[in-house]
Structure 1
């Protein structure tokens, strides 16, 4: 899933590439991808791109006050083309969910792998009209997101810190991969309760959150869309590296599996050397 660093890189790429261009057409390859119906996608034709921004994991194309907002979900991606094919995509006949054309014949396709379809696009006059944006928590890289604000979010919540970091209504932009990375840097168990952290642990987690994301944004900056997935994978310390050596202590990276996801961690760095129970495996071994 694209997370804050990759979404920011995509927004920056589009900002640089679309400066001064107008939208010439929008085509839907999937009936389900467009979550709004008024105004219709044809309303974008002829409008100049005024800017591109990010809201959590959402990308927002401002076209003269009409906003095309999209969320790539778990398996979606943006495929850029300097010369977008002239052929018109047909609903249900293409793996492309949405195609946007621009006045220099460039454009991008939004695609989605797998059978679980979550990619979503909206056409609105105000990004706050998008349900997922209206409920977003603060951006963890915002200038006013200081340690006090973070400590206030943690409060006395009786929620595991891994789940809290991924909750978009609490903190915007962090997903499964970077929550693993942040917790590894902070040397905290993913199952620790947010409200139980002491001041030193809150400080470590705050610094890890900000620095891990800032470093990932810097590493992704300037890369074309096609290279961002590989760059994300290459930059991971523990996420997706089950069975490999921890880059800090050399212990093995372990995994806890759930129904449709998994987390990775280092027991030596994060849980005092104690492996966490893998609930899926525990059920199989009964």
Structure 2
């Protein structure tokens, strides 16, 4: 799933390639992907791209025909969604329901440059909204503070009194916006914290380590990602991971075997040597901690 660094890089890519270009046509290939109806997506035709931004893990593209009346095309890419830039595209409208294409925006001219929103697999969760104000999108209205906008003291206040496991809190977008499953694994590994540690019971020095890891993991990933083409971003993300999606491989820090905890629809990875005092955590089929 694209997280804060990848969405920030996609916004940067659009600012470099799409701004000041008019919309020639919008093709909707997946009818269920568009979650709003007023204004219709056809209202984008003739408008000019004026910017691109990130709200947590939401990507927003701004279009305007007058500065005081912008429209925002906002997407949540979910688990298998992606944005693909193209220099040319087929002029014929795509047939709905065929292939991964969900929505295509033609810029300058039909068949010219633009971008596609695609989604692989059978679980269709990609969402697109066309709104006059980003706060009209329910997921954006509920977002907590951005993960890169917090000071250390604000981060400590956010954790204080929370009973959730720290892994759960880091990925809860209403608490902290932008971090997902992959980068939370990396943050906890660098901070040397168990995913099962209670957020509100961390010692001050552990909060310091966690905040420093949050900042370093995300800023390093943003720096690696920004400037990469959209097609290279997924590979760039994988190349920077030390524990996430590396089950069974040696930890690059201590050499212990990276382990996994599995749930019904997701999993996370961690290093026992670095994070749990050498004790492997159990998955959902066993007790919480193997003693």
TM norm structure 1: 0.96
Name the counterpart of 2:46. 46
CA deviation after TM superposition for structure 1 residue 19, in Å: 2.2
Q: Give the secondary structure class of the aligned counterpart of 2:50.
A: strand
The structural deviation recorded for 1:26 is: 1.1
* Conservation of the 8 A alpha-carbon contact between 1:79 and 1:226: yes
Partner residue in 2 for 1:24: 24
Verify the 8 A CA contact 1:84 1:108 in the aligned structure 2: no
Alignment partner, residue 118 of structure 1: 125
* Aligned residue pair count: 281
Give the aligned partner of residue 101 of structure 1. 106
Question: Which of 193, 200, 222 lines up with 2:198 in the alignment?
Answer: 193
Q: 1:246 to 1:94 in 2, by over 3 A?
A: closer
2: CA distance between counterparts of 1:157 and 1:281? 25
Shift of 1:90: 2.5
Is the Cα–Cα contact under 8 Å of residues 29 and 94 in structure 1 kept in the other structure?
A: no
Q: Name the TM-score, length of structure 2 as normaliser.
A: 0.94
Q: Name the Cα RMSD after superposition.
A: 1.2
Q: Does 1:232 align with 2:234?
A: no
Alpha-carbon distance in structure 2 between the residues aligned to 1:247 and 1:266: 10
Residue in structure 2 matched with residue 13 of structure 1 by the alignment: 13
Q: Name 1:217's counterpart in structure 2.
A: 222
Residue-by-residue CA offset, 1:70-90 (whole Å, 9 max, x unaligned): 110011111211112212112
Query: Which one is further off, 106-115 or 3-12?
Result: 106-115
The superposition leaves residues 198-223 of structure 1 with CA deviations (integer Å, 9 ceiling, x where unpaired) of 10001100110011000000011110
Residue matched to 1:62? 62
Match of 1:181 in 2: 186
SS in 1 for 2:6: helix
Correspondence for 2:77: 72
Instruction: Give the 3-state SS of the residue equivalent to 1:189 in structure 2.
Output: coil
Question: Could you tell me whether the CA contact under 8 Å between 1:83 and 1:107 is conserved in 2?
Answer: yes
Match of 2:67 in 1: none
Tell me whether 1:170 sits opposite 2:175 in the alignment. Answer: yes
Please identify runs of 4+ aligned residues in structure 1 that moved more than 6 A.
none
- Of the structure 1 ranges 37-46 and 107-116, higher mean CA displacement relative to structure 2 is found in 107-116
Shift, 1:280, TM fit: 3.3
Whether the aligned pair in 2 keeps the contact of 1:28 and 1:99 (CA below 8 Å) is: yes
Aligned to 2:35: 35
Gaps of 5+ in 1: none
Superposed displacement of residue 281, structure 1: 6.0
Shift in Å at residue 108 of structure 1? 1.3
The gaps in structure 2 that reach 5 residues or longer are 65-69
Matched-pair contact (CA < 8 Å) for 2:76–2:128: yes
Contact 1:28/1:90 (CA < 8 Å) preserved in 2? Answer: no
